[in-house]
């Protein structure tokens, strides 16, 4: 069963001081080959956020910039709100990001697996506070899609694992509707292919 569209509403204040909802605009979902899709539901380029003059909204609605709704970076300098859809039976690669993530299961059943072999099963409402740890997501159902919503905050790389820490950034190279994903190991600037191939439009 497919998941219903995830709608995101943004509030603002009119010149007369009244609070309103801004017109709804659909999320842009980027395909995760073999896994599902991810959308940046909102982003701010700094903390504290700059709300005066709707600077945050302008940055998010821009086609370019670190807070752009079109950006596919998982971790940014401020905070990102991401929606992740997992296809039935989908399994992400084991990975680590330089971030503190608040990840909430909102639909389906999802397994959160660490590199130690530990695993927990998340049901709607269950959530994980992820502190720069190696992990992967697995949709526990072979017939139903699942959804996670995550708030992602950048952190300083852990000093205790500095020599072995890979600062991973998720880059998406798109051509037409095709997409391929890479983790970038910042220490050596070498790219490690995760999944998919660059496809010709």
Give the domain ranges of the chain. Answer: 29-159
Query: 3-state DSSP call for residue 57?
Result: helix
Among candidate residues 122, 89, 88, 93, the one with its CA nearest the CA of residue 3: 88
pLDDT tens sequence for the chain (201 residues): 678 988 999 999 999 999 999 988 889 888 888 889 999 999 999 889 989 999 999 999 998 888 888 877 777 778 999 999 999 999 988 888 888 999 999 999 999 999 999 999 999 999 999 998 899 999 999 999 999 999 999 887 664 444 334 433 343 333 333 333 333 333 323 333 333 333 333
25 CB contacts (<8 Å, ≥6 apart)?
Answer: none
The pTM (predicted TM-score) of the whole model is 0.76
CATH superfamily, region 29-159: Jelly Rolls (2.60.120.10)
Do 91 and 128 touch, CB atoms closer than 8 A?
Answer: no
Q: Is there a contact between 128 and 99 (Cβ–Cβ < 8 Å)?
A: no
Strand partners, 57: none
- DSSP-derived letter for residue 156 is P
């Amino acid at each position: 069963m497919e998941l219903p569209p995830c709608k995101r509403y943004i509030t603002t204040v009119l010149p007369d001081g009244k609070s309103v909802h801004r017109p709804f605009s659909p999320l842009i979902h980027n395909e995760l080959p073999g896994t599902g899709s991810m959308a940046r539901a909102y982003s701010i380029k700094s903390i504290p956020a700059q709300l005066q003059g709707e600077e945050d909204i302008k940055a998010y609605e821009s086609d370019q910039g670190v807070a752009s709704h079109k950006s596919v970076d998982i971790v940014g300098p401020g905070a990102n709100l991401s929606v992740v859809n997992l296809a039935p039976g989908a399994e992400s690669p084991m990975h680590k990001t330089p971030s503190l993530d608040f990840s909430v299961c909102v639909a389906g059943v999802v397994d959160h697996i660490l590199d130690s072999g530990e695993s927990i099963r998340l049901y709607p409402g269950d959530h994980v506070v992820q502190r720069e740890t190696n992990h992967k997501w697995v949709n526990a159902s072979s017939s139903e899609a699942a959804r996670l919503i995550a708030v992602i905050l950048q952190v300083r790389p852990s000093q205790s694992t500095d020599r072995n820490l890979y600062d991973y950034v998720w880059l998406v190279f798109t051509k037409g509707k095709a997409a391929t994903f890479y983790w970038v190991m910042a220490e050596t600037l070498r790219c490690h292919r995760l999944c998919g191939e660059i496809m010709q439009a």
